[in-house]
Structure 1
Amino acid sequence: MTTPYVLAGATVALCPDVPAALDAAGFGVLAFRHVRGVRVVGALALQYQTAAYQPIGAKVSILRRVARAPQSLQLDLYRITDAGQVLLRTAASEDRQYSFRIDVPQIGPHYFVAKVSSRSLSGGAGSDLASLSVTLELESAVIEPA
């Protein structure tokens, strides 16, 4: 029987530099800063845009993959005093790429380049913990562990 992997112990980190080569070795030499207080990491998906066409005589349309679809990743965090969160907030105020690493125990690091497109302080009741919601717009493929 196979045991599923758990996300406990997973980390999120970012770096203001972009590697010369978009591969694990290129990302591996960057100085990443951990972002503490992460509650939820959205899905890292491999998804493609498709185009439909219907040749003469065909009874159904055929879909063909044409390009990698734009992808967004949502991060939800507890708002704390943390150098990684400061860097993440800085990234939200700049229109430039940052490198990101999501490291999942027993699976390994996932690397990608993204821009931060939004940052919001989540509201709630007086007894709720302050939290942030950050959206990343991926601008590279996700480099997964082998």
Structure 2
Amino acid sequence: MASTTAAGTTIAISAAAPATQDSTGYAALTYTEIGGIEQIGTIGATTNKVEFQPLNGPKEKHKGSTDYGSLQPALAHSDTDAGQTLLRTAADPANNALYSFKVTYPGGEKRYFQGRVFGYPENVGGADSIIMANPTIEINTKVVKAAS
């Protein structure tokens, strides 16, 4: 297996929902790339562990609920970037809509999912720093993986 750096990875957003929850449905959407991305975060689901310890016998372990995860991308804030504008629209507290996302890796592999954006806080650092934004994207669907 060959490893790769994250350099060149992009994330894009769409206000539309896919007709089907597969790579064909997601690929048919029109996306707007979110510019100024420094990092995206961890993509993938985790399953909670449910345990039961009977008085007489071994501990039982089962799979519980699944959390599809969340992203906390870091990006250089821009009022003129179309992708960031759509991200801010999605983050509005009155907006509870699901948005579609596409992450494209340097080799062309894609990760598709739908999520809600919970805030778009801006991080103003010191004189020698860039004004950053740190939105939280809560993933609400299974992540669909597509080969390049």
Q: Aligned ranges for residues 15-94 of structure 1 at < 5 Å?
A: 15-59=14-58, 61-80=59-78, 81-93=80-92, 94=95
Kindly indicate which of the two structures has a greater share of residues assigned to strand. Answer: 1
Task: Name structure 1 gaps, 5 residues minimum.
Answer: none
**CA-based RMSD:** 1.5
Of 30-39 and 48-57, more deviation after overlay is shown by 48-57
Task: Name structure 2 gaps, 5 residues minimum.
Answer: none
Which amino acid is 2:20 matched to?
A: A
- String of CA shifts for 1:77-107, please: whole Å, max 9, x gaps: 0012211111111110121100000000225
CA distance in 1 between partners of 2:19 and 2:53 (Å): 42
Aligned length: 144
Normalised to the residue count of structure 1, the TM-score between the two structures is 0.91
Q: 1:99 aligns to what?
A: 100
Deviation at 1:58, TM superposition (A): 1.4
CA distance in 2 between partners of 1:99 and 1:50 (Å): 29
CA distance in 2 between partners of 1:62 and 1:44 (Å): 29
Aligned residues with identical type, % of pairs: 28
Normalised to the residue count of structure 2, the TM-score between the two structures is 0.90
Q: Aligned ranges for residues 120-135 of structure 1 at < 5 Å?
A: 120-135=121-136
CA distance in 2 between partners of 1:44 and 1:70 (Å): 8
Deviation at 1:71, TM superposition (A): 1.7
Deviation at 1:56, TM superposition (A): 4.7
CA distance in 1 between partners of 2:63 and 2:97 (Å): 29
- String of CA shifts for 1:27-55, please: whole Å, max 9, x gaps: 01000110110001110122101211124
CA distance in 1 between partners of 2:61 and 2:68 (Å): 18
